[in-house]
Structure 1
Amino acid sequence: MAVSIPATVETTVHATMDALTSAEKRAARTLLANYPTIGLAPVAEFGTAAGASAATVLRFISRLGFRSYPDFQRALRTELDERTKSPLQRSFEVPRQESERFLDRFFEQTAEIMRATAERIPASEFEAASRKLADSRNACHLAGGRFTDALAMYMEAHLRRARPGVRRLDGRIANRADQLLDIKAGDVVVLFDMRRYDDDLLETARQLKAARAFTILMTDEWISPISRFSKIVLPCRVSIDRIWDANTAMFALVEALIARTTELSWKTAESRIRVGD
């Protein structure tokens, strides 16, 4: 049975944007730019920040499907709780009956989150990310966090075969700061960020926005705060009923991007792969 990624308030805002009035859009953009903190403030404070009336904010909240402002704030607090959960907070007692079929059930769950991820990501967003990655007129940079930097390394190794100008940003902040000086407007940057989000990556994303880089964010279903500085956001389902999140869907998405990017840049990729072999 396929499992859909639960919609966050942020993703609901994006999905509803086209149906909003201009005043409601101001409230929406204010929320996205200050997510989720402004939504946890009193409605009058939210309205002042958005340059809109409290009534407009309440209409905006209603458009998102919430019956009241407290309901909206409860949803935001629930998201914050999920975002910050450690493996210890997600621990549970392993059912005895699963001992003989653990691997089967685990593979079933990872297959479900892969299907859910594919259903959630618009084909147009995936294609736009692939075309941006295939465009070798601008450099390509990648970086991840504690666990996801391995995905950035894997993606870098493959993209190097497909196109020039690919490098991974150093995990050490001092070295990364030096690398950021070389990033030019229009360069594409792929950032990986999962829940218990990386503050250093968030600051990197902020600097990339100021440098006018084109940031592609690979994140989980709760959406990293890096999204506010990103041009394309690709959310992956990672939550399963185990102690650890599963990055299976994100790894599959990385491989899909590698495959599509290689196809789109085949004239360049073919010669590079030939030399490498």
Structure 2
Amino acid sequence: MSTIAEKLKAREQELTRAERQLAAAILDNYPIPGLGSITELAELAAVSTPTVARMVQKLGFSGYPEFQQALRAELSEIISNPGQKHAQTGSTLPETHMLTRFARAAFENLEATLDGVDPSEFDQLCAALSDSDRSVHIAGGRMSGTLAQNLFLHLQMIRPKVSMIPSQASWPHWVLDMAAGDLLVLFDIRRYENSTLLLAEMAHERGVEVVLFTDQWRSPVQKFASQTFAARIGVPSAWDSGLAILLLTEALIAKIQEDHWEQVQQRNDALETAFDRTRLFRKFT
């Protein structure tokens, strides 16, 4: 099932100006704005209550109560911990091998994620990451940090001025070196981390462009992001899957190196020379 956030993004071009204003208000601190009364949401978005009612019906709901019920169910999923997720999935899964069940869910995640990606936005991010005049900073959370690290290691081989921000308490030091026009790539999936949100806010205040990789419910970081890439993460496990996000970032890496292969090759030739001197890799001759 698509989340309400996904439905809003998919139908963005069909919405009226007032409805787009309403959608932005909902997404700004998703899903909290939609949990109040219809009047409160209308006031927050500075639109009329009939506008709220019409947009809710455009999204396929019979009325505002059904819309709210769906949002509450999503909120429950967003804040669920590993034990709760295991309890939710353990009793309803078919009696087949875990590898099969997990792979099926992963394939569905990939397909749903790709359906939600705008190719022009993807190309725009590739161009921004390729601009060596801009410094790129990358950070993730307790679990999503592995996805951030993977992007960092590859971009570091492709271009200069790329830094990996640690997730420990020392990350404010990195903010001091950020300048207007820099790019900050953040990874944040449920349960969203307060430190990642604060990092995005502080970087945004310095004129840094923030790009977010998140899940289908969308991290609060999106309010500071110029681009948000939402991926499906749910699998039959107590832990979420980063496979769809990994697909997006590895596709980014592939496009950047393909578009700028001559410069990438020169940088990697120099890197291989350094590797040879360090004897890092085993030789078979």
- With normalisation by structure 2, the TM-score equals 0.86
Q: State how 1:196-215 maps to structure 2 within 5 Å.
A: 196-215=191-210
1:132 aligns with 2:128: yes
Cα contact 2:28–2:222 (8 A) shared by 1: no
Q: Which runs of 5+ in 1 are unaligned?
A: 1-5
Deviation at 1:104, TM superposition (A): 4.4
Distance 1:113 1:43, change over 3 A: closer
Deviation at 1:113, TM superposition (A): 2.7
| 110-119 vs 254-263, greater mean Cα deviation | 110-119
| 177-186 vs 144-153, greater mean Cα deviation | 177-186
Distance in 2, Cα, partners of 1:105 & 1:73:
31
Q: State how 1:97-112 maps to structure 2 within 5 Å.
A: 98=96, 101-112=97-108
Report the equivalent of 2:275: none
Q: Percent identity?
A: 34
Q: 3-state SS of the aligned residue for 2:199?
A: helix
1:34 aligns with 2:29: yes
Report the equivalent of 1:183: 178
Cα contact 1:131–1:264 (8 A) shared by 2: no
Distance 1:114 1:58, change over 3 A: closer
Residue by residue over 1:53-96, the C-alpha shift from the partner in whole angstroms, topping out at 9 and shown as x without a partner, is: 22222223223222211111111111111111111012226989
Report the equivalent of 1:246: 241
Deviation at 1:52, TM superposition (A): 2.1
Distance in 1, Cα, partners of 2:17 & 2:94:
56
| 162-171 vs 118-127, greater mean Cα deviation | 118-127
Distance 1:94 1:179, change over 3 A: same
Which AA in structure 2 matches 1:219?
T
Deviation at 1:196, TM superposition (A): 0.8
Distance 1:65 1:182, change over 3 A: same
Q: CA RMSD in A?
A: 2.2
1:13 aligns with 2:32: no
Distance 1:177 1:78, change over 3 A: same
Distance 1:18 1:85, change over 3 A: same
Distance in 2, Cα, partners of 1:52 & 1:94:
42
1:61 aligns with 2:65: no
1:164 aligns with 2:160: yes
Distance in 2, Cα, partners of 1:48 & 1:95:
43
Report the equivalent of 2:66: 71
1:46 aligns with 2:41: yes
| Residue 193 of structure 1, aligned match among 170, 173, 188 | 188
Distance 1:169 1:271, change over 3 A: same
Distance 1:94 1:38, change over 3 A: closer
Distance in 2, Cα, partners of 1:220 & 1:11:
10
Q: Which runs of 5+ in 2 are unaligned?
A: 273-285
Distance in 2, Cα, partners of 1:154 & 1:147:
12
Distance in 2, Cα, partners of 1:45 & 1:14:
22
Report the equivalent of 1:117: 113
Deviation at 1:225, TM superposition (A): 1.8
Cα contact 1:138–1:186 (8 A) shared by 2: yes
Q: Which runs of 4+ in 1 moved over 3 A?
A: 93-98, 101-109
Distance in 1, Cα, partners of 2:177 & 2:212:
20
Deviation at 1:154, TM superposition (A): 1.7
Q: State how 1:86-101 maps to structure 2 within 5 Å.
A: 86-91=81-86, 92=90, 98=96, 101=97
Distance 1:116 1:21, change over 3 A: closer
Which AA in structure 2 matches 1:55?
P
- With normalisation by structure 1, the TM-score equals 0.88
Which AA in structure 2 matches 1:181?
L
